[in-house]
Structure 1
Amino acid sequence: MVNITCRVLSRPAINELPTIYRELGQDYDERVLPSIVNEVLKSVVAQFNASQLITQRENVSRLVRDNLIRRAARFGLTLDDVSITHVAFSPEFTHAVEAKQVAQQTALRAAFLVDQAVQEKQSIIVKAQGEAQSALLVGEALRKNKGFLELRRLEAAREIAATLSVSGNKVMLDSQSLLLNVAGNDAKDILGVSK
């Protein structure tokens, strides 16, 4: 249900005054205007759905004004101003519109989450491909150069030592636990230490 308030400013056409008083009486405005306003409003509003009444309010107002001016002229009335001052809908319709908006927002959020999941999946795939390529390159480097493994051990030991040095705890570790393997044959060969 739509509740519309329409303001109409009217006056009788001067040359039609005798006819208006003879046929309609002195209360011509109370007898004619309410009926033609209701008739015109119903016919114009029927052409639009509820959301269009809001979005196309200017068009609705223009149609009401044009139709009322034509209808009032038949009764010898001149309309100076016609305007729709208020449009309200029933609480059921208002709740239905709100529910529809909530559903649309939920659907948009779901679509966003799906897009986000697809992007995360792509990111994971790219990361996995990068790690696989890295593993292949590390394996190839190990086969070609034995010093690469020792370099990795030294880098790991340096990272462990750096982490432990900033720690507030006092820790005593031997070179074996730091993965230095200083006593190992490969390390001695690389460092040039005799066996």
Structure 2
Amino acid sequence: MAKLFETIGKVGFGLLVAGGVLKSALFTVDAGHRAVIFDRFQGVKEEVVDEGTHFLIPWVQRPIFFDCRSRPRNLPVITGSKDLQNVNITLRILFRPVADQLPRIYTSIGEDYDERVFPASVMKGLKSVLARFDAGELITQRELVSRAVSEDLTERAATFGLILDDVSLTHLTFGKEFTQAVEAKQVSQQEAERARFIVEKAEQQKKAAIISAEGDSKAAELIATSLSDVGDGLIELRKLEAAEDIAYQLSRSRNVTYLPSGQSTLLQLPQ
């Protein structure tokens, strides 16, 4: 009986050890990730391991995992423009590694490749592109600047085995002196526009006054001509029309008494 228990114990221990070895020989690559295998005798293998569960040799081999999904990163930079103005700019990029080049990336750069590549090489490219434009062009031609930055950085990132899915300039400001100069220029332009508007308004008012005076003179001339043609008949007609209007207004007023012509103001009271 003792030998039976001893045998069962050995078998259980063997199964336990085998289970542990089997578990250590398995590894899982999550969705959106890839892995490269480091072998103690052969170094980093060229094969890239896809998603799923895979085998390896315990102790001899070790998996290194990489996230191959697009990830954002904001990079603030202070640089100079073509006209030597200080530019504060924030660059936002979406990046991911090229899966087939993960062994080279791990061997030449390391797992923290984004911390090594972007602050140095990408920033150098950004500064070289911005140095081609002056401050005014950076404001008025922002789309062109963004496209030039994207093309340059995409080419630089490809040399490190990286893909830039999106490159955009999210923040762009200038130094205090330049900002004050731009504001002062805008104020002076607005004042000049206002002065020009006032001058144009005065000229238009002058032209309107001249046209109005010419119209009044022409109207007076036409009236004088018509009066000379018809004689005093038109004047008498206008007097009759005025007298008729006055009589009509007085007849409608309760506080006015109209007396026919030739009647006494005493209303012919008895003497």
Q: Which TM-score bucket, shorter chain as reference?
A: 0.5 to 0.7
Q: Output one character per residue of 1:144-172: Cα deviation in whole Å (capped at 9) or x when no partner.
A: 4245566677889999x7xxx9xxxxxxx
Alignment-derived partner of residue 108 in structure 2: 23
Q: Which has the higher helix share?
A: 1
Higher relative contact order (CA 8 A, sep 6+): 1
Match of 1:38, SS state, is: helix
Q: Choose which of 59, 64, 83 in structure 1 pairs with 2:144.
A: 59
User: Residue 177 of structure 2: SS of its match in structure 1?
Assistant: helix
Residue identity in the other structure for 2:182: V
Whole-Å separation in 2 of the counterparts to 1:43 and 1:127: 65
Q: For the Cα contact (< 8 Å) 2:146–2:169, is it kept in 1?
A: yes
Partner of 2:159: 74
- 1:26-41 aligned at under 5 Å gives the runs 26-41=111-126
Q: Pick closer, same or farther for the CA change 1:126–1:53 going to 2, 3 Å.
A: same
Counterpart among 190, 199, 218 of residue 133 in structure 1: 218
Rg: which structure is higher?
Answer: 2
For residue 122 of structure 1, report the CA deviation from its aligned partner: 1.4
Residue identity in the other structure for 1:83? S
Root-mean-square deviation (Å) = 3.5
Q: Distance in 2 between matches of 1:136 and 1:116?
A: 30
CA distance in 1, matches of 2:141, 2:179: 18
Alpha-carbon spacing, 1:94–1:154, altered in 2? closer, same or farther (3 Å): farther
What amino acid maps onto 1:88 in structure 2? Answer: T
Give, as a single letter, the amino acid of the residue that structure 2 aligns with 1:140: T
Amino acid at match of 2:189: Q
Q: Report which stretch shifted further, 88-97 or 139-148.
A: 139-148
Structure 1: runs of 5+ lacking an equivalent: 166-195
1:89 and 2:174 matched: yes
State whether structure 2 residue 200 is matched by structure 1 residue 115: yes
Q: Which residue of 2 aligns with 1:8?
A: 93
Q: Is the 8 A contact 2:122 2:156 kept in 1?
A: no
Deviation per CA, 1:6-55: give whole Å up to 9, x if none.
Answer: 12333443443443344334443223211222222222223333343234
Distance 1:113 1:22, change over 3 A: same
Q: Deviations over 1:33-88 (max 9, x none)?
A: 11222222222223333343234333322221221111111123333433222112
Given that 1:141 and 1:148 are in contact with CA atoms closer than 8 Å, whether structure 2 keeps it comes out as: no
Aligned amino acid, residue 123 of structure 1:
A
What letter corresponds to residue 89 of structure 1 in structure 2? F
What is the Cα deviation at residue 129 of structure 1? Answer: 1.1
Question: Structure 2 vs 1, CA of residues 11 and 126 (structure 1 numbering), >3 Å: closer, same or farther?
Answer: closer
What is the CA–CA distance in structure 2 between the aligned matches of 1:93 and 1:155, rounded to whole Å? Answer: 76
Change (3 A) 1:36 1:118: same
* Structure 1 or 2: more strand by fraction: 2
State the distance in 2 between where 1:81 and 1:147 align. 92
Q: What residue identity is the alignment partner of 1:134?
A: A
Question: Which sits farther off after the overlay, 143-152 or 2-11?
Answer: 143-152
Q: TM-score when scaled to structure 2? A: 0.49
Q: Secondary structure at the match of 1:48?
A: coil
Once the two structures are superposed, what CA deviation does each residue of 1:109-164 show, in whole Å capped at 9, x if it has no partner? 223222222221111111111222233334434544245566677889999x7xxx
